[in-house]
Every structure is written in structure tokens, then in C-alpha cells.
Structure 1
Amino acid sequence: MFATPVPVPVHPLAMTPVLQVNSRTVTAEEIVPLLASYQMLPRLLREIVIDQAIEPFSCTPEETALACQQFAEQNQITSEASREVWLKRYGMTPSQLEALAIRSLRIEKFKQAIWGTKLESYFVHRKPQLDRVIYSLLRVKDLGIAQELYFRIQEREQAFADLAREYSQGPEAQTGGLIGPAELSTPHPSLAQMLSSGQPGQLWPPTRLGEWFVLVRLEKLLPAQLDASMGQRLLNELYETWLQERLAQVSSGRLQNSLLTPTA
């Protein structure tokens, strides 16, 4: 026998209208199913997890004033009238607008507090993929042709660029085989390993990569530097990795009423 479903009592507040769109009245009970049907629930969960994380972080009055000014400029809020229009459009109160304006700054403070002291070690870990190279590439499907071209280049009979334009069967033919600057995480892993261990000017014999035989010459190695731009990029990576882990825990039900302590 099948068990008879037991009706679940509906709280009176769940049936309270919370939104009117033309002739459609949306109740509190319908909000979550609607968010799910419009694929907006993951975004809501993401923002809630972020709000939990940044709760301990605040802004000074000076930081708040500057953030509000910048937000107004970015969103073309140039007068009190346009501000009222903006608030009405998004259904927000002035205090919610201020909270939105300083939210990005609070997120940055959170990132710095959790991962700021770990950037150097993370940079060392990531550097092999962040170093950039400029290299020349020529690809053909015939080993015999690849070997012949290799010897022509090695003996300086013809320039790599000229041969790449004439023989290469990939898009690099349009640039005379020249590629880059490109991070070492971009090329095929075998190609990246060759380039990372080579010296500028080094030419490798024909190498099999999938259906191709490739000729590769390292032109220039550009080591990554931990400057402000790179630091911000790595900080964002660490933050996004943490955030995705938290969202996975939310989705699986392992993260319930409290936020776990962030780690790098």
C-alpha cells in the first residue's frame, strides 16, 4: 500500500501578498519557487552567504560617503529626484541603498582579512601557470614535412615566420606562427611543459600533439610579478574558490545556520 500524504499546515503569513505585478499577486509562499523557476535561487544563496561573511566588517563615515558618491556617479544618480526614481525602481529604502554602496568595500575588507597574508605563498604556488611566454608555433599533419621544416629553420635556410605562413595549418599561420604573450596555463599541457623548461631561442624537434606534429620555438619568457594587479587577481581567486565551496555546502545541506570559518 502507498502511504497517504499528510497535509502540511500552511502558515497564514505564507499566503500574504508581498508583490503586485499588473494583475498578478505574488505571495510569500510563491517567492522561493519563482526564484527557482527563473534560475535566480543560486544568485540569492550566493549573496546571502556573502552577507554572512562580511557581517563583522564595517566602513568609516568617510569610506561610506566616498562609496555612496562613487555609486551615484556609476549609476547616474545626479539629483534627489533621480535618487527617488532609482529607489522606487529597485524597491529599496535609503538605508538599503547605502548598504549596497558600501558592500563591495566590505567584501574587499573581508578578502584582505582572510587571505591578505597568504598571497605570497599562493603566488609561489600559482606562478608556474602565471608566467607568460611568447613563442612561435608551426603545425602540420605530416611528420616528414615537419622534419624537413625543422631542419630548414635549424640551418637558418628560411625564417620560422615565413615557413609558418606557408605551411602551418592552424590560425597561427596568420601571424607567422607567433603566439603570445600567453600564460603557461593556456597552451596544451605538454607544450606548456616544454616552454616552461626552455630557454629563449630554443627550437624543439617535431613533437606529436594529438593529430599534429608541431615545431615550437620559445621567443621570450615573461616571469609573473606579484604587483598590485596580480595581488588583486589572486585575492579574487581565493575568495571565489572559498565562495564556491560554501555554496556547494549550502546546496548539499551541510552548511546550515552558521558560516564556517574561511580558509585559503
Structure 2
Amino acid sequence: MSPNFLVINDEPVSLEQALSYLQSDGTFQNFLASILRQHVITQMLKQEPDLQPTVAAIEQYLEQCFENNQIYESQPFQYLEQFLKDNQIYTVEQLQQWLEDNHLAYEQFLERIIRTQTWQNLVDHISRPRLHEYFIKHKQKLDKVLLSCIVVDQETLAEELRDQIKAGESFEQLAQDYSIAENRMHGGQMEPVSPSDLPDEIRIAIDKNPQSGSLIGPIDLQNRWYLLRLEAILPSALEGEIEAQLKAEIYQEWLSQEMATMNVKMQVTQWLSLKTSTP
């Protein structure tokens, strides 16, 4: 039996017992995954120590900003830079007030900054070599189209409305007058959507005629007739939320691959013979 891992109500709990509890309630795999994930990160930070900012470097950056009441752009401190801007912190007094309002000690604040900035630096470091290629590969799913629709129950009505629109009637007004969709009061305008999420008939029609204002349909979808108008194609760009999303995806992919290649051996004697059945 290994030394006590915990003491609960004066009763010792060994490491084997603790692991068996995790196994019994089905959380052992998540527990192990958390350990492996942190081990991968720790090993990478050993190889690339500059990814983890020091307290001295953070305080030097803060001092520089506060001396001039100006938040400077800094690649190693992007998170801290954005944090100061978002909270309008330009002086030592403003930082102290923020800490008091959020019930944080200065040391806790530094820990939060180091943890979050390290994660951001690590994500940037891992994703940078693959980011452009990854964006090109997934661009079709990231692009959006803006559509308006009129939804009715009868095919003949949908065809009549199509003919009226071609003759010059207002799509928006006909949507308000006839559509049974909830967006009728907004002229039938839909939220931007990825072409890959559209039914095949609509996506193919857009590919054939990608001009703004082109009509699509009527198309029968789940016993309702859809008449659509293409408002705009919204191509994606490698910036903002899309860039952050792709960086996070590349990072998670790297992390999963690193964890999958690990050779893990349990060093707890009794755990090795523990039955995996649960009550």
C-alpha cells in the first residue's frame, strides 16, 4: 500500500483507493488525460522557456505603460495588452482599484496573467507554421453566404411569388406578406451561413450563379417550399475570430497527437491489479 494520498475525517485514503474511486465513477480517464495534457505542455515549456513570461518581465512592461499612461503594443504580452485596454487600466491606481473590485491580490493577478499569456504564446508558437495552410484547407467551410428566403406551404404559391419578383415586385414585401418563416418581418433575411451547411440543391444553385440578387428555387425542403435570394458571398479572412479559432484547433490537434504517442505506465502496485468493473 502506498503512503496516504488524502486524509478524510481522520481516515487515511491511499493513492490506490483514490484511483479506484475515480475508476468507479468513470472520471479516471479524464483525470489521466489532464495529467498527460499538462505534462505535454510542461515539456514544451522546458524546450521553449521564452514562451512563459517572468514576473520581472511583466512588471517591467506594466511600469513602462504606467509611467507614460499609455498601453504599448507587445508581441510577448498580447493578452496583458488587451486586458489593460479592455479594463481601461493606465495607472497603478487604476490597477489597484481593479484588483479591489475583483477581490484579487496582486500575486493572484500576476499568476493569472502568466498562465493565460503562456497559453496564448504556446498556441501561437504551435499554430504559426501551419496556420496559413490550415486556413486554405478549411476556407470553404469558413466562407459564408447571406441569403433571404420566403417559405410557403404550396408549390404553386412559391412559383407565383417567384414570377412576381422577376417582374419587379419587392422580395422583402412579399416575404412580409406571404412567408411563414419567423424572419418574414425582416424581409426574409437569414443569418450568414456556411455553404457547406446548406442543402445540396441550394449550394449547387449558388455555385452555378453566384451573383448577388440571383433567385434560387422554389425548392421543396421538408414539405415546405423555399424561394431564396442570394444577397452576398462573404469570403473568410485569416484574422479576428477566425484566426483565433484556427489557432486553437491546430493547438488542440497538436496536443492530442502528442498525448496519443505517450507510453504511460502506472507505478502504483495495487492499481496494476485493480479490477476495472464498476458497481
- Residue in structure 2 matched with residue 231 of structure 1 by the alignment: 243
Are residues 1:115 and 2:127 paired?
Answer: yes
Aligned ranges 1:56-205 → 2 under 5 Å: 56-57=44-45, 58=49, 59-61=52-54, 62=56, 76-78=103-105, 98=111, 102-157=114-169, 159-195=170-206, 198-205=210-217
Q: Which amino acid aligns with 1:168?
A: S
Deviating beyond 6 angstroms after TM superposition, the runs of 4 or more aligned structure 1 residues are: none
Cα deviation for residue 106 of structure 1 reads 3.5
TM-score, normalised by the number of residues in structure 2: 0.64
Correspondent of 1:53 among 28, 40, 61: 40
Q: Which amino acid aligns with 2:235?
A: P
CA contact (8 A) 2:152 2:158 kept: yes
CA contact (8 A) 1:130 1:224 kept: yes
TM-score, normalised by the number of residues in structure 1: 0.67
Q: Which runs of 5+ in 2 are unaligned?
A: 63-76, 84-97, 266-279
Correspondent of 1:256 among 248, 263, 279: 263
What secondary structure is seen at the aligned counterpart in 1 of 2:242? helix
CA contact (8 A) 1:184 1:196 kept: no
Are residues 1:29 and 2:16 paired?
Answer: yes
State the number of aligned residues: 222
Cα deviation for residue 255 of structure 1 reads 4.3
CA contact (8 A) 2:53 2:114 kept: no
Give the distance between the partners of 1:23 and 1:188, measured in 2 at CA.
63
What secondary structure is seen at the aligned counterpart in 2 of 1:34? helix
Give the distance between the partners of 1:26 and 1:235, measured in 2 at CA.
42
Give the distance between the partners of 2:251 and 2:179, measured in 1 at CA.
41
CA contact (8 A) 1:49 1:246 kept: no
CA contact (8 A) 1:53 1:110 kept: no
Aligned ranges 1:8-23 → 2 under 5 Å: 12-13=1-2, 16-22=3-9
Distance 1:103 1:51, change over 3 A: farther
Cα deviation for residue 238 of structure 1 reads 1.8
Give the distance between the partners of 1:76 and 1:153, measured in 2 at CA.
61
Distance 1:239 1:189, change over 3 A: farther
Give the distance between the partners of 1:20 and 1:170, measured in 2 at CA.
61
Q: Which amino acid aligns with 2:247?
A: L
What is the aligned-residue identity percentage? Answer: 26
CA contact (8 A) 2:40 2:255 kept: no
CA contact (8 A) 1:140 1:167 kept: yes
Q: Which amino acid aligns with 1:28?
A: L
Q: Which amino acid aligns with 2:177?
A: E
Q: Which amino acid aligns with 1:108?
A: Q
Cα deviation for residue 208 of structure 1 reads 2.6
Cα deviation for residue 149 of structure 1 reads 1.3
Deviations 1:187-238 (A, max 9, x none): 4454344445511111123123343321110112221111244222111122
Cα deviation for residue 109 of structure 1 reads 3.4
Give the distance between the partners of 1:214 and 1:48, measured in 2 at CA.
51
Distance 1:101 1:53, change over 3 A: farther
RMSD of equivalent CA atoms: 3.6
Are residues 1:217 and 2:247 paired?
Answer: no
- Residue in structure 2 matched with residue 91 of structure 1 by the alignment: none
What secondary structure is seen at the aligned counterpart in 2 of 1:32? helix
